[in-house]
Every structure is written in structure tokens, then in C-alpha cells.
Structure 1
Amino acid sequence: MVTTSSSAVLLILIVLTGEWNNKAVGAARILALLSVPSRSHHIWNRSLMLALAARGHQVTVVSPDPEKQSVANLREIILEDMYDDMHEAYDYEAMSQEGYFQNTITIFDWGYDACKSALASKGAKRLKDLTVNETFDLIIVEAAIDDCFLSFIPEFGSPPVMAMVAYSSPPWAGFRMGNPDNPSYVNTFNLPYSDHMDFFQRMVNMILHSFVLLSRAFYHMPAQQKIAEDFFGKSLPPIVDVEKNLSLILVNIHYSMDYPRPMVPALIPVAGMHIKPSKPLPQDLQKYLDDAKEGVIYFSLGSNVRSDKLTAEKRQMILEAFSELPHKVLWKWESDTLPGQPKNVKVGKWLPQNDILGHPNVKLFITHSGLLSTQEAIYHGVPVVGMPFLADQFVNIRKSIARGVGEMVDYNTLTKDSFLATVRKVLYTPSYTIKMKRLSELFRDRPETPLETAVYWTEYVIKHNGAHHLRSAALDLAWYQYFLLDVISVLTIGIILCLMLLYFVAKIIYKVVTKTKKNVKTKKH
């Protein structure tokens, strides 16, 4: 029988043991190669970087996005001028008119130019200098399209490596971990299909999925290898081999908003890792939202597509539609003035989106349907009207539509009437808000926060000097072995040989029987 005092001692030991386990990893030296020039990627990535630094790890972050203030235990290497280079080279609004196959090539070209810009920076040269005398306990990379940075891993002695990706889970993330992304029900990253596809959709999805992986293997990765070798001035280990040594990938998915799919243990879902409970807003915004008796519409096209770059015609359509609504509108507008601005519209170059969406008076979010924005809308239970432009934005809004929490407008065919009708439909139909509140409950209901999950698995890789026991054996198979083509070939040949043997045996038996019958007839005569 356990006494009260012994129970207390046992409880203390459990608590102390748990606390010891939490701190068992100790302070590690972590290098994070996060070179994608996208504000949304940075928002998602930095949540983990700040959490690791707060736990005492010495974190070196290589990124085009500097912190506004210095952070304890965090050292930055800034890849300067990347945003300017990429915005000059690409028209994000025009990308909304591309077909899916062309969009795939554009995204890989974007990755090529991003890597080229990054490695031309002073920051990349500073990082290269660190390879001479610095070592790290863990390297974190982005499983995106900046694969040239994988070449730094062997230069630092090939310590344990893990990856993270702010996309939901693009085909190349699953491919890196040997995950079985079956195109019969798992749509590729830029196709707006559900997990229930008809024959034509499955055929298109299979072709595009194969096209993505083949383009990456024979177009994108060789280009990335060349950029890296030009930068280092020597031949390097193939980055396609380097990426096979990843311990795990943190992926931005959750079953509440994403379609169910099989996942190997090395894919860790941490959707919404960047989201925190909303905080009080700056005084002017707080008053603006508090005083909105009819409610507020929040409008933002994210960090890559600038609202002030919309055509004058489209801008005027949107403003005329807003002017007919009784609601206040808060618009993320990147210029000092908004021509033709109605009285019910307030603009700001930068707005604290997560905190705004958490305000109870926000009734609708008009969004580009970026993944982070979609997740923030779900977390705070705000229905959406999506205006997608590129990449996974079309997929994200289609998922919202399928769940009954939003609708979509097409920027290329947008009219004032179609825009206003869609906005009113979502605003004045209660089911959108009811279903979004329900989806929010599912999204939030987890045993721990996604950031806590991400920190745990990061320290898990450090603690065990890698996590290759999570690695799928599929990565060791040739493509024909993975698809069992060798087995199918042998079985097919075996079946054909058996059928041929049966045919010849039957033919021989037939001849023998026929000959016997003839002999019997001859004897009778």
C-alpha cells in the first residue's frame, strides 16, 4: 500500500524526471538555412527559430528577412537584396493566368533565380567563410525550391539534418521521405482537386504529379547543382544524395483542413505553428474595430502580391463594391494613398493580421488564400472569400469551398457585381460562419500546440544525433523497384510462359488424341 507521503515523493520524482527530460538535450548549435524570399515562409520559419533560441540553443539563421530587434541566442546572416531581385524578375499577378504545367516550370525557375540571387549576396560569402572553422549539432533546411543550399551540409561536416516546409506538403517533400503520395486521391501541389477525383481529374493529376517529379529530377536539381558548384568553385557531392539523409520534415498540414493521406513517421504535421492567441491591437486599429457596429471586412493579398499593383480597373471595381456595403473595410494597402478611397475603407501598409482576425467584429476575410492566411482564418473562425494568384493558393481556397467555409472570386474575370455578390453571399449566409467555427474547433483540438510539437522533434533529432530510424526504406529503392515494375515484369513473364506451356501441352495432347482417333478409325475399317 502506498502512503500519502510516499505518493507525494513519487509525484515529485515524476515532475523532476519530466523536467530533466525536457532539458536533457542541452544547448545545441543550430544552423538554419532559410533562404526562400517570401515573407510568409519567414513568418512560419521564425516561430520555430525564436522558440529554439528561447530554450537556450545557439541558433544561426541564414535568411533574407532580418529581425527588427536583436534576439538572445540568435545570430543572423542576411541574404541582402533578394526581395528586390525577385520582384523585378517576376510578375506575381500575371502568374494567375498560367496553366498548371507552365506554373510548375515557373516555380522551378523562380527557385533557380532565388538561389542565384542568394549565393550572389554578401551573406552567402559570410556563410561560406563559416565552413572553415565552425561546426553545428544540427542543420535545418527548407524543403522548398532553394535546393542549392543543401550543398553547404557536407561543407559543414554533414551533421544531422532536418527540414521544414511552409507549403502544406508539396510532392518533393514526400518524395524526399519516401512517402507514398498516390495521385489517385492525393492531388499535386497546384491542382485544385479534392481527394475524390473523377477519371479525367485522376488522369490529369497523375500526369502533372509525374511531370513535377520528373521536372525536378532532370531540370531543377541539375540547375541547382550547377549553381552550387559555381559558387564553391569545385565539384560537390550530388545534392540529390545529400537530401536523402534528412532525418525528418516538419510539414504545414493538419487533417482538419487537409485531405487525409498516408504519412511516413518522418513527416511531422505542425500546421499553424506560427499562430498565437490574438493580442490587443494598436490604439487606432482597436478603436476602428471596436466601433464597427456592422462588423469589419479584412482584405489582404499577402506578402508577395501587392494590392497597390492591381490594375486600376480591378481596383476601382473592388472599391465600388466596398462602397455599397454597410461594413467597415480594413485593407492592407502598400502605398501612402488609395485613389478613390471610400469613407468606409481604412488602409495600412502593414497590419497585424493574426490579431485583427482574432477581433470579434471581423466578419469576413478577403484573402489571396495563402496557406498561413488560410490557417489563421480557420484558427480564429473567420469565413473567407479567396482571390488566388499562384501556387497552392488555388488549392487552399478549393479546400475552404469544399468545407463550406468560403467562396472564390477569379481575379482575371472579376467584375464589381460578381465580387459584391460573392462577398454578400458569405457575409449574409450564416452557415459559412457556423462551419468555420466548427472547423476552428477541430484545428485547435490537439494534445499540444504545433510549435511544441516542432520543438520536440527538433530536439529529438539533436538528442539522438539524427533520426534515421524514421527513414523509409523506399529511399533505397530504384524507381522500378519502388513501383514493383521488376516484380510485375517477372510475374508477367512467368504467367506468359505458363500460358505458352499450357498452350503447347494442350496442342500436343490435341495432336495425340486426334492421331489416336484416326488410328482407331483406320483399324475399324
Structure 2
Amino acid sequence: MHFSKSHIISMQPLAEALSLRGHNVTIYAAMQGEAAMPTTMDNGVTGRWVNLPKASEEDTKRFSKMIWTMDFGPMVMAWPFNLGNQALTKILTKQPDAWWSVANETWDLIFADELFSQSSYAMALMSKQRHGKPFAVFSTADMLSTFASINSLGRNPAVNPSFYTSSEPFSFNATSLLDRFYVTKDFIVEYLSVGLLSEYQSRSGVGQLGFNDFTWSSYFKEAQLIISDYPERMNHPVPTGNEIINIGATCSVSNDKMTQELLSFVNDEKSRGTIYIAFGSNVQWDYAPEHVLDAFLTAIEALKEYRIIWSYKGPQLKVSNHVKILAWAPQIAILNHPKTKLFISHGGLKSLKEAICSATPVVFMSIFAEQTHNALICNQLGFAEYVNKHTVTGADLLRQARKVLENDAYLANVRKVKAMNNDRIMPPLEEDRMFLWLSDVGKRSLRETAKETFVCRRLAAGSRGRALCPGTTMAAARHVDDEAPKQLLSDQPHSAQPHATEYPLQQRSP
């Protein structure tokens, strides 16, 4: 998960839940050209970061333009995996001390990012090899078909929408031979891209740390659990396994409040409700095609009976008084405000979950990654409509917005999906079931290694341990070069940190 605050945000709820249960939790990530990240995060979680050089202006511009103009296909997946590989090489070459200061510590449990994070793969495997410590794979999106196949989950790619759903046609019908052909084709291409090419790239990366025989199969075989942040009850039915724990139904909590000025704006008595527009931090409006900006300006100008908040950074726009443009907006607070009627979004997973948790109908305009797939699922569930970024016009966007705003079925359906999402004995991160599963991981590892220092075992005992939730790279590793410094080859943790077993056992309050 190099260069991705999004993946860190996905991991944070679990990290905080573990911390609140008395464990020492660290998120370790490599960021590219970011401002200094806090070392102390919410609820006692510690952050440790490697800042890699910022991408060149030309590369940034190329990427920002690309996501507006291209469709996201399965062959593209090899590219971010290769970026993760390059990042690991840069870290080991230019900032080895930052990496090894974490790698030489002993972690009781590691959560390794599933996607694009060769640092995570190496640290997790090293920790298992050197210290017998278990690790879990953390999936920040729906599991790739390739990984589902490698884990023998028996998921038929022909009967579910593709992860790479096309924006045109925006549809999927399992009874259609043509639709089944296209999703099967995507699965085959993804397997070539991820299962073969990206595996080969990853082997060269983690091979720098001694794992020259790395394969996806051997990696997932070593993993004790797979934690998934995808809301499992909104997708098409798929086979799962006992080793998969879904925490995607967790609703985000934010302390950000709406300012008095913003509250006055949305509470205007003349307003029929609030429309909120936001496309995440990766979408740069500076590079949006002219027809997209024209479409948005035309549509919002025609919706004068509503108050519109647009989270926007880009060229200066001339808008009427019923529109408020903000460089940053308190998204969760706005979506949960009772006057909010519509969310216009790119379809990122966190925005999708926030729409469900706030019971807000959506009009999606997907930009990249699996966003079109997310939009299609929500459309099939009856609480969202869609416009195509390549062809959208003001009339298209206005028609879809009014369709959602003026038909109560969309609100009823999103409330139904929210009810299904929340219909649990308790929220996923509060379930003792999840921590009992983690305890079982520790017990199985204990039988395998005859050691008694696992955080998973301590979880059941209500005591403290240490965990590393990697938001990019992850846990402890060993250097295999004969000329490496002796302290890097030592099985002892870095001297700046105490060994996990030195923490006193503390009983958690009931």
C-alpha cells in the first residue's frame, strides 16, 4: 500500500480496536512526497513512516490526466504492483535504516496489505520465518479473482460482475452469454497480469530479502487469516472460507463538524435539501476534460431549489449562491445531516460505505480502479444511478440527479441496504467472535512453533501484545547478504524498542 492514505484509513479502525483492547499497535507505511504524517494517531495507534521522493511533475500530470481519460482494465494491475516493487527497492537503497528499524523488531502479529506492497510481503514472511509469528492479509477492496482462485474459494468468475466493469455498457446479467464471456475474459487477463506477471515482479522485489522462491500460493498458504474491508452483504453471493473475516460493515466515525456558516447554508428554509459532490483526494479537477466540468456546471445551475456543497480543488469556477465550493468538506457530517438528499461521487469504497451508513442515495461517475464495479452493485441494489465520464453532459447528470431526488424508491432502497449492513448482533469491530478467531490463529501457531508469545493468544487472555498494521510495508525482516551489518542479522529486536514479551501481562477490565 505504498503512497496510499486510502489504505491506511481502511486499516485504521481495526488498528484502533486492537489498541483500545490494550495492545501496542503500529502502522508502518511508505508515502511519496507527503507532508509529515503524525507519529501519534487516534486511540493510541503509533505511526512510523518512510517518505520517498515526490513523483516528478510530469509523472503526476500524466497520472492525473490518465485517470480521466482511460478505462481501468485487468492488464493495468501489473503497473501498481510494479510501483510497489520499485518502492521497496528505493527504501532498501536510499532509506534502509528506516526500514530495518521496524524490520528488526519482533511483532506478535502482522497485518500485511494485500495490494501493491512488496515490503509487506517480505516483512510478514520474515517475521514468520525468524520468529514463528503469524501474519494476516488485509484486503482493502473486494478480493481479486486471482487471489480468490489461489485461495481455492471456488468463485465462478462468470456469474458475478467483473472487478473491471466497463462504463459502457454499464450492466451485468448472469443469464447473458455475452456478459459471462466478458467477465471470464477479464478473469483470464487478470490472472496473466496479477497471477503471473505481478508474481514475477514481486519475486524480484522480495528476493532482495532472501525470498527468491516467492509465489502468491506460498504467501497465502503462510497467512493465517484474511481480513476484508469490503461490505460482504452488498455484493453478489460468493463462496467464502473460515479464514476470511469481514469487517467492511464498519461505519466510519469522525469528529469533524460542520461550521456554523455551513449549517446556516444547508438549513436555508428555501432549500428542498442538500446535494453533496465529492470525488476523493486522488481525483484532480485541474485535469478534468472540459466536457466534464461543463456538465457539472450546467447541472448544478439547474438545481437552484437545492443547496449544493462541492468539495473541489481546481480552476476557479463561477457559480450561483445556491452552490458552496470548499477545498475540504466534513464529508461524514454532511452525509449524515437530515437535509442531505443526494451524494454525487466517484464510487471509491470508503465513499460508498459512507453513503450506505448515512442512507444517502448516490449518482456515481466512476474515475478509476474498481469504482465502476462498485457503482454497478449499488445500481443493482436500487439506490444509485450512473453517468459515464467519457460522454457525460449536463443533461445526463441533471436527468440522473432528478431521477434519484424525485423517486422515493432510491431512499427506501438505501435504507434497506443500511439495515442489512447493520443487522448484526454487534458491529464487526466489537464482536468478540473476531478476536476469538484471532485467538485461534495464535493457538494454531502455538501448536506449530511451541512458542507462547503471540498477541493472538493474549487477546483471548485479555492481555497486551504488539501488532503491526502495515499501511504499506510491514513487520520484521532479516537481511540475507553476508556483508550486511551484524545488527541487521540479529534475531534480537531493535534496541530502541522493548521486545513484546517484556510487556507485563495486564488483565483487561470487563
Which bracket does the TM-score occupy, shorter chain normalised? 0.7 to 0.9
| Residue number among 144, 148, 159 corresponding to 1:185 in the alignment | 159
Match of 2:224 among 243, 247, 250: 247
Structure 1 position 375, deviation (Å): 1.5
Name the structure 2 match of 1:37: 3
- Distance in 2 of aligned mates of 1:176 and 1:363: 42
Match of 1:76 in 2: 47
Output the CA distance in 1 between the equivalents of 2:301 and 2:109.
53
Aligned twin of 2:80: 110
Give the match for residue 273 of structure 1.
Answer: 250
Match of 2:391 in 1: 413
1:477-488 to structure 2, matched below 5 A, reads none
Are residue 447 (structure 1) and residue 411 (structure 2) matched? no
C-alpha contact (below 8 Å) 1:78/1:123 kept by paired residues = no
| Alpha-carbon offset, residue 83 of structure 1 | 6.9
2:224 aligns to what SS in structure 1? Answer: strand
Q: Are the counterparts in 2 of residues 298 and 364 from structure 1 also a CA contact under 8 Å?
A: yes
Partner of 1:138: 109
Q: C-alpha distance in 2, partners of 1:429/1:93?
A: 35
Gap change, CA 1:116 and 1:455, over 3 Å in 2: farther
Q: Which structure: larger Rg?
A: 1
CA contact (8 A) 1:118 1:124 kept: no
447-456 or 78-87, which deviates more: 78-87
What does the per-residue CA deviation read over 1:438-478, in whole Å, with 9 as the maximum and x for residues that have no partner?
22211221122122249626743564254999xxxxxxxxx
Structure 1 position 64, deviation (Å): 4.0
Q: 1:68 to 1:159 in 2, by over 3 A?
A: closer
1:126 aligns to 2:105 (yes or no): no
Q: For residue 137 of structure 2, what is the aligned residue in structure 1? A: 163
Instruction: Report deviation, 1:388.
Output: 0.4
1:428 alignment counterpart = 406
Greater Cα offset, 454-463 or 248-257: 454-463
Q: Give 1:331's match in structure 2, choosing from 310, 330, 336.
A: 310
Alignment partner of 2:237 out of 246, 250, 260: 260
Whole-angstrom distance in 1 between the partners of 2:447 and 2:312? 46
C-alpha displacement of 1:298? 0.4
After superposition, give the CA deviation of every residue in 1:194-216 in whole Å (9 maximum; x if it has no partner). Answer: 46241111122222212212322
**Shift of residue 263 of structure 1?**
0.8
Write the deviation string for residues 400-443 of structure 1: whole angstroms up to 9, x where unpaired. Answer: 21122111011111111111111111111221112212222112
Counterparts of 2:226 and 2:112, CA distance in 1: 9
The 5 A counterparts of 1:367-516 are 367-453=345-431, 456=435, 459-460=438-439, 463-464=442-443, 466=445
- 2:27 aligned residue (26, 39, 61): 61
Q: Deviations over 1:120-152 (max 9, x none)?
A: 2466642224434x2111111111232453122
| Residues 377/81 of structure 1: CA separation in 2 closer, same or farther (3 Å cut) | same
Provide the residue aligned with 1:24 in structure 2. none
1:107, 1:131 → 2: CA distance?
27
String of CA shifts for 1:314-356, please: whole Å, max 9, x gaps: 2133112211212111111125x63223322212222221221
CA distance in 1, matches of 2:54, 2:416: 38
Work out the CA distance in 1 between the residues paired with 2:114 and 2:436.
16
1:216 to 189, 194, 197: 194
- Aligned counterpart, 1:20: none
Q: Could you tell me which amino acid in structure 1 is paired with residue 63 of structure 2? A: D
Contact 1:280/1:286, CA 8 A, preserved across alignment: no
Please say if residues 24 and 45 of structure 2, whose CA atoms lie closer than 8 Å, have aligned partners that are also in contact: yes
The answer to whether the 8 A contact 1:301-1:307 is kept is no
Tell me the distance in 2 between the aligned counterparts of 1:251 and 1:440. 18
Query: Using the alignment, how far apart are the partners of 2:330 and 2:443 within structure 1?
Result: 38
Look up the equivalent residue of 2:328 and give its one-letter code. W
Q: Which residue matches 1:175? A: 149
Going from structure 1 to structure 2, the CA distance change for 1:256 and 1:93 (only over 3 Å counts) comes to: farther
CA deviation map 1:93-126 (0-9, x unaligned): 53455456xx222232022113423542466642
What RMSD, in angstroms, separates the aligned Cα atoms of the two structures? 2.9
Distance in 1 (CA, whole Å) between partners of 2:205 and 2:25 is 26
**Which letter does structure 1 place at the counterpart of 2:366?**
P
Q: 1:85 to 1:73 in 2, by over 3 A?
A: farther
Distance 1:268 1:68, change over 3 A: same
Q: Which amino acid aligns with 1:91?
A: F
CA distance in 2: counterparts of 1:328 and 1:239, whole angstroms: 53
Q: Secondary structure at the match of 1:411?
A: coil
More deviation in 146-155 or 217-226? 146-155
